[in-house]
Chain A
């Protein structure tokens, strides 16, 4: 065999294996234009080359500890627990640098970009948490960073926009479509298409084309591994349920990863019920969607019967997305995880409750998981242990809450 043919043959074998690795059941895959195939291949190859590399692993561990602030504590929320009538532990990802779990992934992918010799970062963002976490890493590694963000999200998350700019990133406003996360991803993909040679697309959630769902899960699985160890050390046993909010699904897949093999631990994902499920104004993809293809992956999708993708609505910008990570789709179909929706009003109630009972302002995204716990008030054995992924802090959401729930001055 000539060297050229052998290379071609190896490449075909790699593509075949990519195809296999990129699937979660029938979900996932890489439904992208031809121009993106070579870069996804390059990314996959680099990920598998470095993710267990000794130098890479130790550099990431050091940064996770000293820059991001890992491990994050597991905190017993006593007064909140008294309110709902069972034991609630918070996995405090909100205490990480940047105020959310997003830094786990941006450190990992940013380091990967550095190892690949890329000099520029791009990212999409909804609530601005992933955008901020990418801007931080751009500053940390001295990389030019562009953040694509919908105009609606820019308006409702202006504090994060300012923070990104302070970190030296350029924020590119996206007016197309609904001006939210979906449109930011569309434009980030378009930009990447034209700048594939020097630009690394730092994807924020466990969705999109292969290898992103696998990469993001890998870098977020530290949440679940830590939480499991902390449960055993601090509570002396595993929890009965692990609860997380689901937009694209990165914080949920990260914490689920630690418990998925513990068959007695219920895994519960909480989606954005928006105004209400019946109104159609929501982002509850797994609860109310139908299988389709968007942004490079096959997954549940909110769409009309022809396949045009629906506009979504949620009080939390970070969950305002019509598709969902492919692995969640498989976990739903196999029944290993359950998915429910929490509506905006219940979410705001939960936001206020955690603030009042614990002095912790949760992100509106994470408040969805809290809202599910509130809905179980009085319905569970008092000895029930629930771990929730408090994926982000709520400072960024104060103005939204203020608008929706004006405080009375006594």
Chain B
């Protein structure tokens, strides 16, 4: 199984940032969702962030909330999600990070959850509503199962806390570009370059940036600021939402967008 370590060191040789699209597993349904993920891999995704749909996603804006509802309505659950991940891994050995909420982990049974995730081919699990302070509830079962850890840093995280977070992170730091929830934005947050710069000075752990990155030029700016990866969620999920009645067009638009972002990142030559 390809690890984050292998991937980020390969990309670092190439002086290139990772392109990390986010999808909600099963949005709008299992088969379409799988086709979307395969399309994005073909278009140049380096890592996948996959969201497990939840009834109360407090860190997500309207676009992802609606995707969660579509996925749940189509019958997505944890068993199906594991099957989905296995199918993605059969298609290509690409690192996969899950992004989800704690209650789903807790009800599944923490130890069993992480070990089943690892078996299915997951590299890391980021629990959105579990900060570093309560992370001991998951860090040791995750490590025992063989998973890497991914934690968030936000614009209001102070330097000491950044150091602490970096020390507990083995996968990558998920850097939130702005104060707020997920969602596409017209403009890139003007503090993101500074935030990436500060993190890169503090740690050798890869730094990836997400929330509000919606255009190829946003991705290019983040990459040139030194980010090891660029995470794009709501913008792509929005392309699913606006093409629900035309799957072919949906796949084409997603493929084109991801290719455009990919070239924008590559032209930065990080």
In the complex, how many residue pairs between chain A and chain B have their CB atoms under 8 Å apart? 119
CB-based nearest B residue for A18: B133
Contact B129 A33 (CB under 8 A): yes
Given contacts A30-B133, A33-B128, contact A194 B180 (CB under 8 A): yes
Proximity bits, A259-297, B CB within 8 Å = 1, else 0: 000000000000000000000000000000000111110
Contact A35 B176 (CB under 8 A): yes
Residues of B close to A32: CB separation below 8 A: 58, 129, 131
CA distance A176 to B158 in the complex (A): 33
CA distance A12 to B159 in the complex (A): 13
Quick check: is A159 within 8 A (CB to CB) of the other chain?
Answer: no
Contact B179 A309 (CB under 8 A): no
Which of A34, A296, A305, A306 sits near B152, CB closer than 8 Å? A34
Proximity bits, A9-43, B CB within 8 Å = 1, else 0: 00110010011000000000111111111110000
Question: Which one, A47-55, A135-143, A185-193, A250-258, is touching chain B?
Answer: A185-193
Residues of B close to A186: CB separation below 8 A: 56-58
Contact B108 A308 (CB under 8 A): no
Contact A190 B176 (CB under 8 A): no
Quick check: is B55 within 8 A (CB to CB) of the other chain?
Answer: yes
CB-based nearest B residue for A7: B160
Contact B151 A190 (CB under 8 A): no
Given contacts A31-B102, A33-B128, contact A292 B107 (CB under 8 A): yes
Which of B102, B133, B154 sits near A35, CB closer than 8 Å? B154
Q: How far is the CB of B213 from chain A (nearest CB, A)?
A: 16
Interface centre among B77, B106, B155, B176, by most chain A C-beta atoms within 10 angstroms, is B106
Quick check: is A378 within 8 A (CB to CB) of the other chain?
Answer: no
- Count chain A residues whose beta carbon lies closer than 8 angstroms to a beta carbon of B: 43
Residues of A close to B157: CB separation below 8 A: 34, 38
Residues of B close to A305: CB separation below 8 A: 107
Interface centre among A4, A37, A177, A182, by most chain B C-beta atoms within 10 angstroms, is A37
Q: How far is the CB of A27 from chain B (nearest CB, A)?
A: 13
Quick check: is A241 within 8 A (CB to CB) of the other chain?
Answer: no
CB-based nearest B residue for A5: B160
Which of A30, A294, A303 sits near B131, CB closer than 8 Å? A30
Residues of A close to B57: CB separation below 8 A: 186
CA distance A306 to B65 in the complex (A): 18
Residues of A close to B180: CB separation below 8 A: 35, 190, 193-194
Quick check: is B43 within 8 A (CB to CB) of the other chain?
Answer: no
Q: How far is the CB of A7 from chain B (nearest CB, A)?
A: 7
Residues of A close to B60: CB separation below 8 A: 190
Proximity bits, B76-93, A CB within 8 Å = 1, else 0: 011000000000000000
Contact B102 A190 (CB under 8 A): no
Proximity bits, A296-310, B CB within 8 Å = 1, else 0: 100001010111110
Contact B56 A294 (CB under 8 A): yes
- Count chain B residues whose beta carbon lies closer than 8 angstroms to a beta carbon of A: 46
Residues of B close to A33: CB separation below 8 A: 58-59, 128-129, 131, 152, 154
For window 302-320 of A, CB contacts with B under 8 Å fall at 303, 305-309
Quick check: is B190 within 8 A (CB to CB) of the other chain?
Answer: no
Contact B160 A4 (CB under 8 A): yes
CA distance A11 to B163 in the complex (A): 13
Quick check: is A400 within 8 A (CB to CB) of the other chain?
Answer: no
CB-based nearest A residue for B61: A190
Quick check: is B246 within 8 A (CB to CB) of the other chain?
Answer: no
Contact B103 A309 (CB under 8 A): yes
Residues of A close to B205: CB separation below 8 A: none
For window 345-390 of A, CB contacts with B under 8 Å fall at none
Contact B108 A31 (CB under 8 A): no
Interface centre among A5, A35, A36, A308, by most chain B C-beta atoms within 10 angstroms, is A35
Contact A292 B160 (CB under 8 A): no
Which of B72, B134, B181 sits near A193, CB closer than 8 Å? B181
Contact A303 B133 (CB under 8 A): no
Residues of B close to A306: CB separation below 8 A: 77-78, 104, 107-108
CA distance A189 to B21 in the complex (A): 25
CA distance A196 to B156 in the complex (A): 9
Given contacts A33-B129, A33-B152, A193-B180, contact A307 B58 (CB under 8 A): no
CB-based nearest A residue for B179: A194
CB-based nearest B residue for A183: B56
CA distance A307 to B100 in the complex (A): 12
CB-based nearest B residue for A19: B133
Which of A4, A7, A196, A308 sits near B54, CB closer than 8 Å? A308
- Please, could you name 10 A-B residue pairs with CB atoms under 8 Å apart, sorted by A? A4-B159, A176-B65, A190-B180, A292-B103, A295-B58, A301-B103, A303-B107, A306-B104, A306-B107, A308-B55
Given contact pairs A37-B131, A193-B180, A194-B178, enumerate 14 new A-B contacts (beta carbons under 8 Å).
A11-B160, A30-B133, A31-B130, A33-B59, A34-B152, A35-B154, A35-B176, A37-B161, A186-B56, A190-B181, A293-B102, A293-B129, A296-B129, A306-B107
